[in-house]
Amino acid sequence: MLDHQAASGLEAEARAARYQQYTQQQVDFIALAHHRDDQAETLMLQLLRGSGVKGLSAMAKCRQLAGQPGYLRPLLDIDRGSVVDWAKAHQLHWVEDESNADTRYARNFLRHDFLPVLNQRYPAWRESLARSAENLAEASLLLEELAKMDAEHGIVEQRLYCPYIKQISPARARNLLRYFIAQHGCRMPSQARLADMLGQIINTQHDNHMAIQHDDHTLYRYQDYACLIKRLPSIDRTAQWCWPEEDELHIPLLGRLEVLQSVGCGIAKNKFVEVSVRFRQGGEVIRPDCKRPKRKLKDLLQQSEIPVWQRDRMPLIYSGETLICIPGVGVDCEWQAKQNEPAVLVTWQPAS
């Protein structure tokens, strides 16, 4: 069933439902009957929406995405009239969706009310608009090639390298950011939204951080990098786990704690009993350096360059009410193994 009240509109819902059905078919390619009139209408609609070059390139003759069948549009160079004439000549019958006559929908308004008037003055409008769509598709490919070239220096391990973003022109920076967003499968932001994202990426100071919600992701800037992280599930901050009954502890949706055997480094093995695992509450302190006083957990996480979005989700190891270990960061000096003493190292592997 389609959601008639969907924010994206009934047309978009119907289109999404059709493509969902296509994806479920066990085939390599699906041929669609879009023709030249459809292409021209699509370009007009995208123009009226203020779309960019990629949107204005309209429909491709061949498109293939990972994990989906390929889509072929062999009729894009043929107008609607010719398709209908051929179908009638071969006595073909088809189902006409009754909503196609409803001019409350933008495409139908163009088709039934606007384009017939345009046809009186510009009878070659189909060919002209289709040609423009082809030119824009070529321009879109060139912009993608440029983005890939910039990505060689501007994207490092799926993160935007901010110093490089500052070096290139604003137009190239916007183009690279669009490419970066598309690589994460996110909906493309509006021009104003994209400009705001880029402005914050560029202007956020090295020792500060930013977080911008977009689609089902969050765009973070931390130190020299910006990254898109899929929105993380909420956690029960009061949750606790008793440990170590086993060498591993899986925390649902978050990651895995693991104990590695060691000597003289880590937590003294004879003290690693009846510990618990908790989340950060605020105000925690620990003394990883026996020659210095206790330090705030917040300062240690910053010093260790733990990404901002991971800090509140890091498991902490307690003995009673005492914080004894921050995995990957440090162990309180009272629980540290001495030289040649059997020990355990606690490691934390966040879920990918």
Taking each helix axis from N to C terminus, what angle separates 36-48 and 125-154, rounded to the nearest 10 degrees? Answer: 60
Q: Phi, psi (5° rounding) for residue 342?
A: -55, 140
Contact 291, 247 (CB under 8 A): no
Contact 207, 293 (CB under 8 A): no
Domain segments of the chain as ranges: 10-136, 157-230, 241-350
Per-residue pLDDT, averaged over 285-302, amounts to 93
What pLDDT is attached to residue 252? 85
Per-residue pLDDT, averaged over 87-97, amounts to 91
Q: How confident is the model at residue 7 (pLDDT cuts 50, 70, 90)?
A: very low
Q: How confident is the model at residue 9 (pLDDT cuts 50, 70, 90)?
A: low
Per-residue pLDDT, averaged over 291-307, amounts to 92
Q: How confident is the model at residue 3 (pLDDT cuts 50, 70, 90)?
A: low
Is 86's pLDDT higher than 90? yes
Dihedral sign, CA of 276, 280, 282, 287? Answer: positive
Dihedral sign, CA of 84, 90, 91, 92? Answer: negative
- Please classify residue 95 by burial: count the beta carbons closer than 10 Å to its beta carbon, then call 0-12 exposed, 13-18 middle and 19+ buried: exposed
Instruction: Give the model confidence (pLDDT) of 55-69 as tens digits.
Output: 898 788 888 877 778
How high does pLDDT run on average in the chain? 90
Q: How far apart are CA 140 and CA 292, in angstroms?
A: 58
Q: How far apart are CA 66 and CA 162, in angstroms?
A: 29
Instruction: Give the model confidence (pLDDT) of 161-186 as tens digits.
Output: 999 999 999 999 999 999 999 999 89
Share of the chain above pLDDT 90, in %: 66
Contact 273, 345 (CB under 8 A): no
Is 2's pLDDT higher than 50? no
The two structure tokens encoding residue 28: 């390599």
**CATH class of segment(s) 10-136:** alpha beta
Q: Which of 193, 192, 251, 181 is nearest to 217 (CA)?
A: 181
DSSP notation for 163-207: HHHHHS-HHHHHHHHHHHHHHTTPPPPPHHHHHHHHHHHHHS-TT
What pLDDT is attached to residue 335? 94
* Helix or strand run (H / E) with residue 224: none
Is 4's pLDDT higher than 60? no
pTM of the model: 0.78
- Please classify residue 342 by burial: count the beta carbons closer than 10 Å to its beta carbon, then call 0-12 exposed, 13-18 middle and 19+ buried: middle
